[in-house]
Amino acid sequence: MAAVLLCAAAVAACSGKSTTGAAGPGGAAGGASATPGPQNSATPKPGGSFTMLEETGLTGAWPTGLDPATDGNGSANQSYLNAIYGNLFELGANGQTINDLATGYTITQDGKTVTIHLRQGVTFSDGTPFNAAAVAFNFKRDLASTVGDKPNWPVSSISTSGNYDVVIHLTQAYAPIINTFHDSNVNWIASPTALQKMGENAFKLAPVGAGPFTVVSDTVSSELVLKKNPHYWAKGQPYLDSLTFKSVASDEAALETMQAGGVDGYEGMQTPQLVSAFGKQFNVLDVPSTSPYVIQLNTAIAPFNNLNAREAVYYATDVNLIDQRLFGDLHPVTQGFTAPNGLFYEKSVPGYRTYDLAKAKAAVKAAGGVTVDLMATQSSVTQTVLEALQTMWQAAGMKVNIHVNQLANVIQQFQGNKWQASLQTAGAFDPAAGLGVNFRFGSKSVFSGVHDPKLDTMFANATSTLDNAKRGQLYNQAAEYISQNAYAPFLFPVNGWNIAAKNVSGPGLTTLLPASAVRPEILWAQVGFTGQ
Amino acid sequence: MTVQSTNRTDNLAAAADPEAAVSVPPPGTPQAPPPAGLLRFPLLRSSRFRLAVRRLLTAIPVVWGVTFLGFTVLNLLPGDAAQALLGADATPQEVAKLSHQLHLDQPFFTRYWNWLTSALSGHLGNSLGSGQQVTAILVQRLPVTFELLLYAFIVSLLIAIPVATFAARKPGGIFDSITTFIALVGLSVAPYILALLLILFFAVDLSLFPALGWTPISGGLGSNLRSLTLPALSLGFPIGCFYTRLLRADVLEQLDEDYVVTAHAKGLPGWRVLLRHATPNSMFGLITVVALNAGTFLGGTVIVEQIFGLPGIGEELFQAIQTRDSPVLEGIVVVFAVLVVVIGLLADLLYAALDPRIRYDNPGQ
C-alpha cells in the first residue's frame, strides 16, 4: 500500500514542478493504520486565552532559548517555535506536505537544485519583509549552527532568485529534503533585522518571526506568554487572542492541574494508565510515534560481536508480552525502523526472529554463555521495559545487568564505545530525516552499534533515490538486512496522547497529524475554542 | 567561647552561634575610656554591630567554599554543558565547537578563576544556555522564592506556636494527643506527596486554589496569595509540625521552672503564665532550629517550585544542574549561602532582643 501511495508523490517530486498544496514526498504516511482517539474538527470561534501544559523533562524545557539556530532542544520545542515563527512547510494529515510560509517547491531532474517558493506580502511581526534574502540568511545560519536538529543537507551553496525564491544547491540528489523541513530548524524563519538589532542573547528570549503569535514574556523553561500577531498573513487567524505555555512536572501533575481548571491542554502525555482518567473529562488524542524502540547491540565488542549472542537476544525477547503487560497492548509491535504513522512502514520483515525460548537457550549455549550490561536513558517507559527484558533474558540463561542513566551518562557511554546493549528509539517520519536510521545504524554515528559498509551503502542509495517507491524498497531491504544479521531487535513505537478541553479544536491537538520529530506539530494558528 | 549561664536556652543560643560569647557583665566593671575615631558612633561600638561584622567576615570563606564546591561537583557530573545543551543528537564535532565557544575546553581551575574574578567585580556571568545575565535571572526569580519562603515560614509559625502552646497546657490531653499524631504524620509525609494531596483536595475537589503557576502582586494581592497558598502549605506544614514538637517540649520544660511556680503562687491565671511567660521563654530553641534549618527550608523550594510550576530560584537551580549551567548554579549558590548566613545572624540578634541579659562580646576582650 505504501508503495502505491508513494508513486503518486514521486511523480510530483520527479516532474520538476511541485505545485502549491500538493502532496510532497510525505504522501505515504500510514495514517490509516494508526488508531486515532476522539477527534474534534469543528471550526473554532475567534477569541479566547489558551493555556497549554508541557512536560518539564522534554517539551517544557527551553534552556537555550527559542532561536532556531541556537535552540538545542528545537525538536521538542516545536510547539513554541511554530507559534512564533510559523513554518515554511507543515506536515499535514496522511503525511501530506502543506504550504505555510512557502507556497511550494521545485526540484530539478537531477535532484541537485531545490527551489523554495515563498509567500508574498508577508511581514515579520517587527514589520520587516519576509523574503528570499531573509530565508537564505536563516538557512545559512541554521546550517552553520551547532544544534542537533539542523538538517543533513549535502549543500554546496544557497542563493536567492528574485525576492521570493530561495535556491538550495546540493552536491548530490537528496530525496528527503522537503521532509527534513518537518523536523529541523530550517522550517522556522527568524527576522534578520530583529536578530541584528537585539543581538543573539536578547533575541533568543524574545524572538521575532512571522508566525501567528508574538512573545509577551518568557521565563525560561517555566512560562511563555504569547499574544496574537495582528499582522499574521492568514486572514482570520490565529483564532486565539493569547496563548500561554506552562511547564508541569509530570503527567500526574498535569492531570490534577487540568482537573482544577484554568488549563486547556496538555501535550504529549506518556502514561498509559492515565488515559482513562484524562478521558473522563477531556478529549484525548492518540498520537502514534514514528520512532520504534530498538535494543541496540554493540557489534564491535563482546558479547555481541558474536552472531549467536545477538540471535539469543532476538529469541529471548517476547515483545508482544511486554506490550500487553506493560502498555495494555496499546502499541503496534514492529520489526524494523519504520512505524505505522511514518513513511515506508513495513509491518513484517521477512525472516525476522521472534520469541522462542528454546532457541534462545540454544543460542546462549552456542555463544558459550552471554553476560550483558543493558542500559537506557531514564524515562518512565525505559525503567519498566528494562526490568522486563532482564527477566526474559535471564530465563534464557543470560546474565543481565541493567542501568538506567541520565542522558549525559548515556552519551558518555556511546562515546566511550564500551557499552554492550542499549534501549533507544530509532527512525523518524522519514527514515533519512532528523534522528533517522543512520543515527542508530550508520558506521559514522557514535550512537550506532553497527559498523557495516554494506548497510551504509544501502542507506546512502535510499537517500539519493528520488523515486519514493524505490526508496521504500531500499529501506525494506535494509530492514531485512538488519534482521538477517540480527543487528538489533525492535519493540514498538510508544504512543503519546494530546489532551484538550472538550471545547477546543485544532490540527495536531484534537485531530491527528503524523509525528514529524518528537511529536506531531500543533498548528496553533488554527487552534481555538469551539464554544461547545 | 565563654558561656556564663546555665540556662538551657542560652546553651541553644550558643549552639546556633559558636562564634558568639553570651555573657552577663559582672557588677562593678570599671568604665572604659571615651572612644575615639569611628568608635565615637554608638552603633559602631555596639556588640551587635561587631557581631554582624564578624559574621559577615566569616561568611566570605563560607561563600567562597560553597562556590568552589558547587563548581567542583558540577564538573564531576558526567557530561558537560555543551552536550547537555545540544542534546543527544549532536555530533562530537558540534559539541567540541560549542565547548570552545563557551570556554568549557579550558582547565577547571582557569574556568573557576575566571568566574571568581568576574564575580568579585560584580558580574556573575551569563547563563551558558539562554545567554541571560545571571543577575537578571536572579532579579526575575528571587521575588517568587522569597515570597514563597516568607509565606511558608509564616504558615509554619502559625501552626507551631498556638498548637504547641495549647498542647503543652494539658500534656496527654485530647488536644495534645491529636496534635501530636498530626505532627508525626506531618513529619513523615514528604513535601511532594503532601503537595499532590493538597492539589487534589483544595484545587481539584474544592477549586479553592490554583494547582499551577504564580500570579505576581501586580495581578492583585488576593490572586498572588491564592497562587502561593498551596506551595506555602506544602513547604510550611511539615516544618511547622517539626517546630510544634520542639516548641511543645520547650514549653513543657519552662512550665517546670521556678519562676512559673512563683507566678502561679502569686495568683496569676494559668493562661497568662503560659502565654506571657512560659511560651516567650521557650522561643530560643525555636529560633535556633529555624536558623539551623534554613538550608533545608531553601532546599525544599526546589521540589515545591517544580510541582507547582513556580518560576522561582529553586526551579532555576534544578534546570541549571540538568544543563550543567555553572554560572547560573554558582549565582544561586552564592545567594543561598548568603541567605543562610544572614538568617543565622538574624537569629543571633533575635536572642539578644528577646533576652536583654544576653550580650555578645569577643571572648578575647
Q: Determine the Cα angle at B289 with ends B284 and B290, to 5°.
A: 95
Nearest Cα residue in chain A from B328: A63
Q: Round to whole Å and give the CA distance between B230 and B234.
A: 6
Cα distances (Å, whole numbers) of residue B52 to A442, A470, B19, B37, B56: 64, 79, 11, 20, 6
Measure in Å the smallest separation between the Cα of A18 and chain B Cα atoms: 31
Mean pLDDT score, B352-363: 65
Q: Round to whole Å and give the CA distance between B321 and B304.
A: 16
Q: At a CB cut-off of 8 Å and minimum separation 6, what does A363 contact?
A: A308, A309, A311, A312, A315, A396
The answer to whether A22 and A333 have CB atoms below 8 angstroms apart is no
Measure in Å the smallest separation between the Cα of A201 and chain B Cα atoms: 5
Nearest Cα residue in chain A from B198: A256
Q: Round to whole Å and give the CA distance between B175 and A187.
A: 66
Measure in Å the smallest separation between the Cα of B313 and chain A Cα atoms: 11
Q: Round to whole Å and give the CA distance between A521 and A347.
A: 25
- Asked if residue A31 has pLDDT above 70, the reply is no
Identify all chain A residues contacting B207, using CB atoms and an 8 Å cutoff: 260-261
Q: Which of the two residues, B334 and A389, has the higher pLDDT score?
A: A389
The answer to whether B362 and B356 have CB atoms below 8 angstroms apart is no
Which of A268-282, A383-397, A511-525, B162-176 has the least mean pLDDT?
A511-525
Q: At a CB cut-off of 8 Å and minimum separation 6, what does A103 contact?
A: A20, A117, A118, A119
Mean pLDDT score, B170-182: 91
Q: What pLDDT band is residue A26 in, cutting at 50, 70 and 90?
A: very low
The verdict on whether omega for the bond into residue A230 sits within 30 degrees of 0, i.e. cis, is no
SS3 of residue A477 by DSSP: helix
Q: Round to whole Å and give the CA distance between A222 and B315.
A: 8
DSSP H/E element including A169: strand A165-170
What pLDDT is recorded for position A38?
Answer: 53
Of B199, B319, B324, the CB nearest to A260: B199
In percent, how much of chain A has pLDDT > 70? Answer: 91
Measure in Å the smallest separation between the Cα of A283 and chain B Cα atoms: 18
- Asked if residue A349 has pLDDT above 90, the reply is yes
SS3 of residue A422 by DSSP: strand
Of B78, B309, B323, the CB nearest to A409: B78
Identify all chain A residues contacting B91, using CB atoms and an 8 Å cutoff: 148, 446
Tell me the pLDDT tens digit for each residue of B255-295. 888 888 898 888 888 888 888 888 888 888 888 888 888 88
Taking each continuous run of H as one helix and of E as one strand, the counts in chain B are: 17, 2
Cell of B144: 517568587
Q: Are residues B88 and A407, on separate chains, in Cβ contact within 8 Å?
A: yes
Q: Are residues B211 and A253, on separate chains, in Cβ contact within 8 Å?
A: yes
SS3 of residue A207 by DSSP: coil
Q: At a CB cut-off of 8 Å and minimum separation 6, what does A423 contact?
A: A293, A294, A295, A296, A374, A375, A376, A382, A385, A386, A389
- Asked if residue B93 has pLDDT above 80, the reply is no
Q: Round to whole Å and give the CA distance between A210 and A491.
A: 40
What pLDDT is recorded for position A408?
Answer: 66
Identify all chain B residues contacting A49, using CB atoms and an 8 Å cutoff: none
Q: Are residues A147 and B94, on separate chains, in Cβ contact within 8 Å?
A: yes
Of A63, A200, A252, the CB nearest to B323: A63
Nearest Cα residue in chain B from A65: B130
Tell me the pLDDT tens digit for each residue of A279-336. 999 999 988 888 899 999 999 999 999 999 999 999 999 999 999 998 888 888 999 9
- Asked if residue A34 has pLDDT above 60, the reply is no
Q: Are residues A247 and B85, on separate chains, in Cβ contact within 8 Å?
A: no
The answer to whether A408 and B323 have CB atoms below 8 angstroms apart is no
The number of angstroms, rounded, from the C-alpha of A141 to the middle of its chain's C-alpha atoms is: 22
DSSP H/E element including B57: helix B47-76
Residue with cell 479553592: B208
What pLDDT is recorded for position A72?
Answer: 78
Q: Round to whole Å and give the CA distance between B334 and B331.
A: 5
What value does the mean pLDDT of chain B take? 82
- Tell me which of B80, B85, B144 to substitute to probe the interface with A (most A C-beta atoms closer than 10 Å): B85
Which residues in chain B (190-229) have CB-CB distances under 8 A to chain A? 196, 199-200, 203-204, 207, 210-213
What pLDDT is recorded for position B33?
Answer: 66
Phi-psi category of residue B207: left, alpha or beta, with phi > 0 → left and psi -120 to 50 → alpha: left
What value does the mean pLDDT of chain A take? 88
User: What's the burial of B39, exposed, middle or buried (CB within 10 Å: 0-12/13-18/19+)?
Assistant: exposed
In percent, how much of chain B has pLDDT > 90? Answer: 29
Q: Are residues A148 and B88, on separate chains, in Cβ contact within 8 Å?
A: yes
Tell me the pLDDT tens digit for each residue of A78-111. 999 999 999 999 988 878 899 999 999 999 999 9
Q: Residues A444, A447, A452, A458: is their CA dihedral positive or negative?
A: negative
- Tell me which of A411, A419, A435, A448 to substitute to probe the interface with B (most B C-beta atoms closer than 10 Å): A411
SS3 of residue A223 by DSSP: strand
The answer to whether A320 and A355 have CB atoms below 8 angstroms apart is yes
Q: Round to whole Å and give the CA distance between B171 and B73.
A: 47
Is B140 at the interface with chain A, CB within 8 A? yes
Residue with cell 551553496: A157
**Side chain identity at residue A466, one-letter code:** L
Residue with cell 521495559: A385
User: What's the burial of A444, exposed, middle or buried (CB within 10 Å: 0-12/13-18/19+)?
Assistant: exposed
DSSP H/E element including A293: strand A292-297
- State the count of interchain CB pairs (< 8 A) between A and B: 139
Cell of A464: 539519493
Tell me the pLDDT tens digit for each residue of A185-218. 999 999 999 999 999 999 999 999 999 999 999 9
Is B5 at the interface with chain A, CB within 8 A? no
- Tell me which of A142, A146, A406 to substitute to probe the interface with B (most B C-beta atoms closer than 10 Å): A146
Buried b / exposed e over A350-383, threshold 16 CB at 10 Å, is eebbebeeebbbbbbeebeebebbbbbbebebbe
Is B98 at the interface with chain A, CB within 8 A? yes
Q: Which of the two residues, B77 and A460, has the higher pLDDT score?
A: A460
Q: Round to whole Å and give the CA distance between A288 and A333.
A: 12
Identify all chain A residues contacting B315, using CB atoms and an 8 Å cutoff: 221-222
Cell of B94: 558540534
Cell of A434: 532528523
HSE, CB side, 13 Å, CA atoms: give it for residue A502.
Answer: 8
Q: Round to whole Å and give the CA distance between A370 and B176.
A: 62
Which of A422-426, A483-487, B17-21 has the least mean pLDDT?
B17-21
Nearest Cα residue in chain B from A220: B130
Identify all chain B residues contacting A435, using CB atoms and an 8 Å cutoff: 89
Tell me the pLDDT tens digit for each residue of A389-429. 999 999 999 999 999 887 667 877 887 888 999 999 888 88
The answer to whether A405 and A270 have CB atoms below 8 angstroms apart is no
- Asked if residue A138 has pLDDT above 90, the reply is yes
Buried b / exposed e over B326-338, threshold 16 CB at 10 Å, is bbbbbbbbbbbbe
Cell of B37: 575615631
Nearest Cα residue in chain A from B83: A408
The answer to whether A471 and A227 have CB atoms below 8 angstroms apart is no
Q: Which of the two residues, B75 and A33, has the higher pLDDT score?
A: B75
- Asked if residue B322 has pLDDT above 90, the reply is no
Identify all chain B residues contacting A222, using CB atoms and an 8 Å cutoff: 309, 311, 315
Q: Round to whole Å and give the CA distance between A259 and A266.
A: 12
Identify all chain B residues contacting A415, using CB atoms and an 8 Å cutoff: 92
What pLDDT is recorded for position A258?
Answer: 93
Measure in Å the smallest separation between the Cα of B329 and chain A Cα atoms: 13
Q: Are residues B79 and A409, on separate chains, in Cβ contact within 8 Å?
A: yes
Mean pLDDT score, A509-520: 77
Q: What is the DSSP string of B167-226?
A: HHHSTTSHHHHHHHHHHHHHHHS-HHHHHHHHIIIIIIIS--S-SS----GGG-HHHHHH
The answer to whether A29 and A514 have CB atoms below 8 angstroms apart is yes
Q: Are residues A253 and B91, on separate chains, in Cβ contact within 8 Å?
A: no
- Structure letter (DSSP) for residue B37: G
Measure in Å the smallest separation between the Cα of A247 and chain B Cα atoms: 6
DSSP H/E element including A436: none
Q: Residues B64, B66, B67, B68: is their CA dihedral positive or negative?
A: positive
Cite the DSSP H helix spans in A162-199. Answer: 177-180, 192-198
Q: Are residues A263 and B86, on separate chains, in Cβ contact within 8 Å?
A: no
- Structure letter (DSSP) for residue A129: B
Tell me the pLDDT tens digit for each residue of B201-220. 999 999 899 999 899 998 89
Q: Round to whole Å and give the CA distance between A132 and B40.
A: 75
SS3 of residue A371 by DSSP: strand
HSE, CB side, 13 Å, CA atoms: give it for residue B283.
Answer: 18
What pLDDT is recorded for position A451?
Answer: 94
**pTM for this model (two decimals):** 0.81
Tell me the pLDDT tens digit for each residue of A439-457. 899 998 888 999 999 999 9
Is B18 at the interface with chain A, CB within 8 A? no
- Asked if residue A7 has pLDDT above 50, the reply is no
What pLDDT is recorded for position B288?
Answer: 85
- Asked if residue A503 has pLDDT above 80, the reply is yes
Q: Are residues A412 and B86, on separate chains, in Cβ contact within 8 Å?
A: no
Identify all chain B residues contacting A404, using CB atoms and an 8 Å cutoff: none
The answer to whether A449 and A296 have CB atoms below 8 angstroms apart is yes
Of A56, A72, A219, the CB nearest to B86: A72
Q: Are residues A260 and B210, on separate chains, in Cβ contact within 8 Å?
A: yes
- Tell me which of A142, A185, A221 to substitute to probe the interface with B (most B C-beta atoms closer than 10 Å): A221
What pLDDT is recorded for position B201?
Answer: 92
Q: Round to whole Å and give the CA distance between A54 and A83.
A: 14
Q: Round to whole Å and give the CA distance between B50 and B55.
A: 8
